[in-house]
């Protein structure tokens, strides 16, 4: 699977758990850390933890394992490293405080149309 397809899969998975304002940045030309950064938030620590658990479970079912997972216990800022994509899931006040979007303002954003989950 191409890195962009993997990133879009992650976007779809977190959207299933009502991720707030997901943003996908193409950072591969700006850093060697990853090709894409996915940033999203939840309205509570519990929602952020649920998004992360759902993402890990669905990605594992798709054949991908996280290289690293940090912050799951607190649920304020959970970082999941899938190699070519790094996912940052925030409890909304922490997202505003750390302002990762501001740090990566020069990175191109990938437009994403959320799938309709009305039947979920």
Q: Which residues contact 82 (CB under 8 A, 6 or more apart)?
A: 6, 10, 59, 64, 66, 67
Provide mean pLDDT across the span 24-38. Answer: 93
Pairing of strands 85-91, 77-81: antiparallel
Helix (H) or strand (E) holding 36: strand 36-42
What is the residue extent of each domain of the chain?
3-110
Give the position of tokens 């990853």. Answer: 34
Give me the pLDDT at residue 3, please: 92
Assigned CATH topology for domain 3-110: Beta Polymerase; domain 2 (3.30.460)
Whole-number Å distance between alpha carbons of 5 and 25: 13
Residue range 16-26, pLDDT digits in tens: 999 999 999 99
pLDDT digits (tens, 9 = 90+) for 79-106: 999 999 999 999 999 999 999 988 888 8
Using the structure block, give the residue that is written with the tokens 């501001």: 102
What are the backbone dihedrals phi and psi of residue 31, each rounded to the nearest 5 degrees, phi first?
Answer: -150, 155
Q: Tens digit of pLDDT for each residue in 44-83?
A: 999 999 999 999 999 999 999 999 999 999 999 999 999 9
- What pLDDT was estimated at residue 10? 96
């Amino acid at each position: 699977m191409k890195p962009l397809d993997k990133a879009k899969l992650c976007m779809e998975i977190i959207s299933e758990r009502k991720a707030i304002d997901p943003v996908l940045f193409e950072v591969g030309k700006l850093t060697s850390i990853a090709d894409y950064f996915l940033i999203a938030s939840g309205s509570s620590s519990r929602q952020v933890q649920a998004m992360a658990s759902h993402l890990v479970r669905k990605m594992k079912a798709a054949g991908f394992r996280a290289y690293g997972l940090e912050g799951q216990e607190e649920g304020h800022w959970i970082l999941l490293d899938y190699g070519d994509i790094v996912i940052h899931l925030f409890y909304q006040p922490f997202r505003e405080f750390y302002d990762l979007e501001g740090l990566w303002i020069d990175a191109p954003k990938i437009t994403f149309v959320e799938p309709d989950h009305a039947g979920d």
